[in-house]
Amino acid sequence: MHSYEEPVYLISVVANILNIHPQTLRQYEKEGLVKPSRTQGRVRLYSQKDIDHIKMVLRLTRNLGVNIAGVDIVLQLKEKMDEMQDEINALRDELSKTNRQGSVHSSKAIVTTNSYDIILFEKK
C-alpha cells in the first residue's frame, strides 16, 4: 500500500481513473493547478493526493462552471484558510500548555474559531 502523498500513478492511469484526456492533465500542470512529481526521465507521477486535488478542480470547472482563473483563486484561498487553521490549532495547543502551567486564568483561555470547508454542490 502506498502513502497518500507518494507519487505512483502515470498520467495515462490518472486520465483513465478520472475519465479525462491526458492533455487536460498537462494543461492543469501548465496552469499551475497541479504539480505532479517527475522521475529522472521526466515522466509525470501522480499521488492519490494529486488525484483528489484534480477531482476538486474538475468539480469546480464541470459542476460549478468556474473558469481556470477562478479555480486558481479558490485553491489559493483554500490553502490560506488551511494555513490559518493550522496556526489557530498551534496557538490553541500553546495556550493549553500555558493553562496547564497555571500562567493564564482558565476563564480567559478559551479560544473559539470557525472551521471552514469548501462544500461543492452538484447541479441537478
State the pLDDT at residue 1: 73
Rounded to whole angstroms, the Cα distance separating 71 from 81 reads 15
Distance, in Å, from the CA atom of 66 to the CA atom of 85, rounded to the nearest integer, reads: 25
Residue 120 is predicted with a pLDDT of: 63
Instruction: Examine residue 27 and state whether it is found in any structural domain, yes or no.
Output: yes
**What distances in angstroms separate CA 114 from CA 21, 57, 77, 111, one per listed residue?**
38, 24, 16, 10
Q: Based on the structure, what is the number of domains in the chain?
A: 1
Which three three-digit cell numbers place residue 66?
Answer: 468556474
* Average pLDDT over every residue of 64-74: 93
What confidence tens digit (pLDDT) does each residue in 8-55 have? 899 999 999 999 999 999 999 999 999 999 999 999 999 999 999 999
Question: Could you read off the pLDDT of 76-123 as tens digits, one per residue?
Answer: 999 999 999 999 999 888 888 876 776 655 555 555 666 666 666 665
Question: Per the domain annotation, does 119 fall within a domain?
Answer: no
Tell me, what CATH number does 92's domain have? 1.10.1660.10
pLDDT of 74 over the 90 cut:
yes
Mean pLDDT for 71-79 is 93
Tell me whether residue 63 is in a domain: yes
